[in-house]
Amino acid sequence: MPSVHEAGIQETKNPDFRRQRVAVFIKHLSIGGLQRILVRMANELAARGLEVDLVVAKGKGPLLSQISSNVRFVPLHSKRLWYAVYHLKRYLSREQPDVLLAAGWQVNLIAIWARMLARHRVRLVISVRTNTTEQAKSTKLWYASINPTAVRIFYPLADAIIAVSRGVRDDLHSISHRVSAKTTVIYNPVVDDDLLSKAQQDVSHSWFDERDRIPVIVSVGRLDPQKNFSLLLRAFREVLDTRQARLVLVGDGSERRELEQLAADLKIDQWVHFAGFKQNPYPYLANANLFVLSSNFEGFGLVLVEALACGCPIVSTDCPSGPREILEDGRWGRLVPPADSSQLAHAMLESLQSDHDYAALRKRAMHFSVDRAANAYIQVMGLQTPFET
């Protein structure tokens, strides 16, 4: 498998370089798209010769083992997330990093407030990972409805803002022109050699051994309302009216029991496998006949890029924000209206019956490489690496 790096770093010392420190601030190290992305970015920045602190609000987690030895792990040990304002303020005053990179709406606010209180004037870059307006309308958490107001008041205090898709940037523009004026779109750093290597591992389920005869459809994500797996189950019921197929759902969450009951009610449970959470979901994508995203909304749609990198054909809801950009208006996968099970089923059947250029799908995924994203992050953060490239 070839390396994802598009251009190697030339070993030419920059004589004017002053070793700089960047603090990457996240909520925790549990397995999740946001956490994986920020750990990858921290590792890549350290590999380029920067001093990197991975500052974590709430202790340890499964991703701790994936942190590079070149990255310093700094746990704040906050018993409650919002207590991290005080702990982060102390860290900034003591360690005085050049740049603070934060990601996630709560974490962004904590970073803004801690920077206001700290004695050290660090350059603050925050990252917006989801469509704030859709999240405010769709999420039941008590604070979701005030998110747009918090964005309008506090986000202009950051030095720079990164949006993970044009759709997220457009949403920020609808909330505040002052926020969007500071916003740069940088797609998520997804594809690296580690992902491509993990995709080569075996998947231990007999259905995949028979996928040439009975196709296997896979979806990966949290089993929660945002991902709308109930829509996928209903669409799969319609697929089975036309042909044989199997469906594997990789992930866990609050709706698992409800979804298992729905599969039984639809009389499709013998053709649906709830695989649960997998630390390495990539072999499922690499061995599937089709990947389906059924979300009501996204910020980016990280798993779509992971599916492309594994050479897996895609059907996705055309939800805000991200899928249309990743799939280039349907060039790299079929797009269907959200919440329409019949159109989703029709697109799934069409994809299963079509030929696909798997190499072209993998090539498209390289547009979202860690290497490319790191170049853009370094520019926005105003950093210099110790080598001239």
Q: Tell me if 361 is assigned to some domain.
A: yes
Query: In this predicted structure, what is the pLDDT of residue 1?
Result: 39
Give the count of beta carbons closer than 10 Å to the beta carbon of residue 331.
Answer: 9
Does residue 176 or residue 385 have the better pLDDT? 176
CATH number at residue 180: 3.40.50.2000
Q: Tell me if 204 is assigned to some domain.
A: yes
Q: 137 with 87, same domain?
A: yes
Cα(309)–Cα(292) distance, rounded to whole angstroms? 15
Q: 242 with 285, same domain?
A: yes
Q: Tell me if 6 is assigned to some domain.
A: no
Q: 361 with 373, same domain?
A: no
Q: Tell me if 3 is assigned to some domain.
A: no
Amino acid at position 215, single letter: P
Q: 244 with 347, same domain?
A: yes
Q: Which of 139-143, 305-309, 337-341, 380-384 has the lowest mean pLDDT?
A: 139-143
Q: 39 with 105, same domain?
A: yes
Q: 374 with 361, same domain?
A: no
Query: In this predicted structure, what is the pLDDT of residue 152?
Result: 96
Please give the mean pLDDT across all residues of the chain: 91
Q: 68 with 25, same domain?
A: yes
Query: In this predicted structure, what is the pLDDT of residue 261?
Result: 98
Amino acid at position 381, single letter: M
Instruction: Tell me the mean pLDDT in the region 243-267.
Output: 97
Q: 82 with 179, same domain?
A: yes
Task: Tell me how many domains the chain contains.
Answer: 2
Asked if 374 contacts 45 with a C-beta cutoff of 8 angstroms, the reply is yes
pLDDT in tens, 24-81: 999 998 877 888 899 999 999 999 999 999 999 987 788 888 899 999 999 999 989 9
Give the count of beta carbons closer than 10 Å to the beta carbon of residue 110.
Answer: 26
Q: 173 with 242, same domain?
A: no
Q: 72 with 127, same domain?
A: yes
pLDDT in tens, 183-229: 999 999 999 898 999 999 999 899 999 999 999 999 999 999 999 99
Residues spanned by the domain of 251: 194-367
Q: 354 with 222, same domain?
A: yes
Asked if 149 contacts 105 with a C-beta cutoff of 8 angstroms, the reply is no
3-state secondary structure the chain: CCCCCCCCCCCEECCCCCCCEEEEEECCCCCCHHHHHHHHHHHHHHHCCCEEEEEECCCCCHHHHHCCCCEEEEECCCCCHHHHHHHHHHHHHHHCCCEEEEECHHHHHHHHHHHHHCCCCCEEEEEECCCHHHHHHHCCCCCHHHHHHHHHHHHHHCCEEEECCHHHHHHHHHHCHHHHHCEEECCCCCECHHHHHHCCCCCCCHHHHCCCCCCEEEEECCCCHHHCHHHHHHHHHHHHCCCCCEEEEEECCCCHHHHHHHHHHCCCHHHEEEEECCCCCHHHHHHCCEEEECCCCCCCCHHHHHHHHCCCCEEEECCCCCHHHHCCCCCCCEEECCCCHHHHHHHHHHHHCCCCCHHHHHHHHHHHEHHHHHHHHHHHHCCCCCEEC
Q: Tell me if 323 is assigned to some domain.
A: yes
Q: 47 with 134, same domain?
A: yes
**pLDDT exceeds cutoff 80 at 260:** yes
**pLDDT exceeds cutoff 70 at 285:** yes
**pLDDT exceeds cutoff 60 at 387:** no
Query: In this predicted structure, what is the pLDDT of residue 5?
Result: 39
Q: Tell me if 1 is assigned to some domain.
A: no
Q: Tell me if 4 is assigned to some domain.
A: no
Q: Tell me if 5 is assigned to some domain.
A: no
Instruction: Tell me the mean pLDDT in the region 343-349.
Output: 98
